[in-house]
Amino acid sequence: MTHKNGKWAKQILDCRNEEGLWGNFHTLSRPVGNKAITTEQAIRRLRILGFTKEDEPIRAALERMCLCVSGRKKIDDYSEKTHDWPLFEKLMLSAWIRLFDPENEIALAVAKQWAFIAEKAFSGGQYNIEADREAFALQFGRKPKSAFETGFGMFYHAVLLQGVLSPGTEGLLLDYYLTRQGGIYYIYEKCLSELPETFASKNTSRYLAAVETLYGYRQAREKLGFVVEWLVSNQDECGSWDLGAGAKDGVYFPLSDSWRKPESRIADCTERINRILQKIAE
């Protein structure tokens, strides 16, 4: 179901600037009242509301991201001195491009660079940081310097590497994400193999966001079977799910224009979980 014509989409689209973007690109943190929404926050929310690469707002953002990754135009003037910002920017933007357009050649080229590193890092049957560092140096001509450059722990790595790894490495990477104590950075900071204690909660919504990050992998059906069982066990007698009013965060929920009526909230939760189950089953 799409919510492209709802009030939440309209609020975001009304904030676009003359270049078809929003504020600076980077930050995946929850939007804060009275502060300009970032482009990253905007396209994440629009994607959740049903927007695809066929929609003009997304198409315009993708075109600008591709120009930046290929070195033809900057996305904005923002940078962080603690990182090799051009490298991080290519990783980040390519991940978002592939979320909307998995076969995009510009983003695929970046994905294959990181896939080379991942294949080496997991070649011994589990993640090895020294092998990771060596492969990074081979790929980029220098040793890694900041935290994002090793470990594959971020949302961006998890998204970028889908569809470009050998089956063996993909399985090891998924095991790594499911057992990593820090979860997936920017999305969920706890171990994914440990299910949330309280189903009807914002924490569960965030956990599901991590699942949504991984369900595009070919082996998701095998690796995420325990999540499917958990979701089915929390389905009510009507075949619906309810994460409770506390799940409303302005990012993943709401989808409907209002949650004043519990049935709208239940419909939104059910729509999201059904989509997750369908994606894992594909």
| % of the chain at pLDDT higher than 90 | 93
- What pLDDT sits at residue 149? 96
Of 173, 169, 208, 172, which Cα lies nearest the Cα of 190?
208
Per-residue pLDDT averaged across 239-265, rounded?
97
Number of H helices, E strands in the chain: 12, 0
pLDDT tier at 29 (50, 70, 90 boundaries)? confident
Own/partner pairs for 20-23, CB < 8 Å, 24+ apart? 20/57, 20/60, 20/61, 20/64, 21/60, 21/61, 21/64, 21/75, 21/76
What is the Cβ-side half-sphere exposure of residue 269, based on CA atoms within 13 angstroms?
A: 28
Using one digit for the tens of pLDDT, what is the confidence trace for 104-147?
999 999 999 999 999 999 999 999 999 999 999 999 999 999 88
Mutual orientation of helices 39-48 and 56-69 as an angle, nearest 10°? 140
For residues 97 and 61, give the distance between their C-alpha atoms in angstroms, rounded to a whole number: 9
- Distance from C-alpha of 189 to C-alpha of 171, rounded to nearest angstrom: 21
Q: What phi, psi does 257 have (nearest 5°)?
A: -65, -25
Instruction: Tell me what percent of the residues of the chain surpass a pLDDT of 70.
Output: 99
Confidence of residue 177 (pLDDT cuts 50, 70, 90): very high
Instruction: Please list, in sequence order, all residues whose beta carbon lies within 8 angstroms of the beta carbon of residue 210, skipping any fewer than 6 positions away.
Output: 183, 184, 187, 188, 192
| C-alpha of 39 from chain center | 14
3-class SS at 154? strand
Average predicted confidence (pLDDT) for the chain: 96
